Structure 1
Amino acid sequence: MLPFAPGRFVDWLLSRSDVAPVWHRFVNHPFVLALGNGELPLESFKNYLVQDYLYLVHFARANALASYKARNIQDIAAGAKIVQHIHTEMKLHIDYCKSFGIEKDEIEATEEHQACTAYTRYVLDIGQSEDWLGLQISLAPCLLGYGAIAKQLHADPRTKTEGNTYWPWILNYVADDYVQAVQTGCELIEKNAVLHSPSRIEELVKIFIHATKMEIGFWEMFPSA
């Protein structure tokens, strides 16, 4: 018997006693809160934008690998669609970076921070050594986390909207296209989670916790005050 009802895996996962504290640290990290109140040092945000672009390159690789790992044409096509979406997002990312005086050549010439390398290579290692769902679970903190963070900041009355340099960033992740992407990703995970044994589910939980800690490490590259 699985410890969650069909369609409730993600809710069950985030409420577990070993997941919830780590997840809370991630979505309430000082970097995140500083985005909301507009007090994040601009240089930290600019460095974040550069490392985030470098991260997205490997995020695209991981989703291409997910297509290869998939066992049916629907999931293969879903992975390909995500890669195309990332490609489009990266073009927008470049334009966004230009508004902060950061050019594409500068971004591509920047060395990956060790935390970025550690995180992305962990995900790719999971993709190589685990099955399709293992890879999806390693990607899930990013997919779910940015949606949860933006939703939380958008609804928080303490979030500064007027004159907040980071308000447009928050709006990007509560936009319909990203909300739909999170929903689609969750549906894929839910559909596949019920096909696995309780022991495999426990292994997936450990992957999710470790990947979430990697997300925390990504925030910690940048001073929040």
Structure 2
Amino acid sequence: MSFCDAVWEDVAPLRQSILAQPFLAELADGSLPPDSFRHYIVQDSLYLAEYARVLAIAAARAPSAAARLEFSDGAKVAVQVEEILHQTFFEHFDITPAMVAMSEPSPVCLGYTGYLASLAATRSYKELIAGILPCFSVYWEVGCAIKSIAGSPNPYEAWITTYADPGFGEATRRVSALVDHAASVSTPSVRAAMAKAFRTATRYEWMFWDSAYRQLDWPI
């Protein structure tokens, strides 16, 4: 069993908890309150800006040309997705650029991006890319799962389509292959650290949707 298959199986209970999130269930049937989605999409925009930086760092630290290209392209796509958010969802949900500029990262958003930044700054390249992977693999699984049950018409159809797109699935497989290769030439202790980074980032994925559903912000 490959490293990615093993850690994917290891977080199976957490993945089931993600798929059972009220945020995602209501997004699928179109009943998600607009305020919850508005909270999510603003925080996601802030997250993507930082995620793009982390991907760029991964590209700079990558040991092969293929990995440098993959993570450079990933950083570019993250920026492009952020721009698409501004052009589509922001307009549809009455979110202005000024509102985004004035928004602070929520505790969960700051925690997640801060964790990825700490991997980039203080841990190995291998741990970093293992921590990057859940944002690909979890969203691909969620996108496909929701698309199969989504109601129509659905105000969130464009979001569902983005993450169920076969092109996103291919990108997920390419990044998984890079993580698998890194793990295959690593010591058991490094693979354990990679698995920990993957699990931690997957936990943050659950927390991100939960935070958006409950519209959590700083308590004080």
Q: TM-score, normalised by structure 1?
A: 0.88
Tell me the secondary structure at the aligned position of residue 120 of structure 1: helix
Aligned residue type for 2:156: Y
Bigger mean CA offset, 144-153 vs 25-34: 25-34
- Alpha-carbon offset, residue 218 of structure 1: 0.9
* 2:218 aligned residue: none
* 2:188 aligned residue: 198
| Aligned counterparts of 1:72 and 1:223: Cα–Cα separation in 2 | 40
- Alpha-carbon offset, residue 38 of structure 1: 1.5
- Is 1:223 the counterpart of 2:216? The answer is no
The aligned length equals 214
| Aligned counterparts of 2:99 and 2:117: Cα–Cα separation in 1 | 25
- Is 1:130 the counterpart of 2:96? The answer is no
* 1:103 aligned residue: 96
* 1:172 aligned residue: 162
Alpha-carbon RMSD: 1.7
* 2:52 aligned residue: 60
| 8 A Cα contact 1:62 1:123, kept in partner | yes
| Aligned counterparts of 2:83 and 2:167: Cα–Cα separation in 1 | 16
| 8 A Cα contact 1:137 1:207, kept in partner | yes
| Aligned counterparts of 2:111 and 2:140: Cα–Cα separation in 1 | 23
Q: Go from structure 1 to structure 2 and tell me whether the alpha carbon gap of 1:115 and 1:224 turns closer, same or farther (over 3 Å shift).
A: closer
| 8 A Cα contact 2:132 2:201, kept in partner | yes
Q: Give the alignment of 1:48-127 within 5 angstroms.
A: 48-96=40-88, 97-127=90-120
| Aligned counterparts of 1:175 and 1:210: Cα–Cα separation in 2 | 26
| 8 A Cα contact 2:34 2:93, kept in partner | no
- Is 1:13 the counterpart of 2:3? The answer is no
| Aligned counterparts of 2:78 and 2:166: Cα–Cα separation in 1 | 16
- Alpha-carbon offset, residue 221 of structure 1: 1.4
- Is 1:37 the counterpart of 2:29? The answer is yes
| Aligned counterparts of 1:177 and 1:98: Cα–Cα separation in 2 | 25
| 8 A Cα contact 1:26 1:213, kept in partner | no
| Aligned counterparts of 1:204 and 1:62: Cα–Cα separation in 2 | 16
| 8 A Cα contact 1:133 1:192, kept in partner | yes
| 8 A Cα contact 2:70 2:175, kept in partner | no
- Alpha-carbon offset, residue 118 of structure 1: 0.6
Bigger mean CA offset, 197-206 vs 138-147: 197-206
Q: TM-score, normalised by structure 2?
A: 0.90
| Aligned counterparts of 1:114 and 1:131: Cα–Cα separation in 2 | 25
- Alpha-carbon offset, residue 224 of structure 1: 6.2
In proportion to residue count, which structure has more helix?
2
- Is 1:144 the counterpart of 2:107? The answer is no
Aligned residue type for 1:142: C
- Alpha-carbon offset, residue 164 of structure 1: 1.7
CA deviations 1:74-131 (Å, max 9, x no partner) are 3222222211122222211111211222122221221111110011000110111111
| 8 A Cα contact 1:26 1:212, kept in partner | no
| Aligned counterparts of 1:83 and 1:14: Cα–Cα separation in 2 | 23
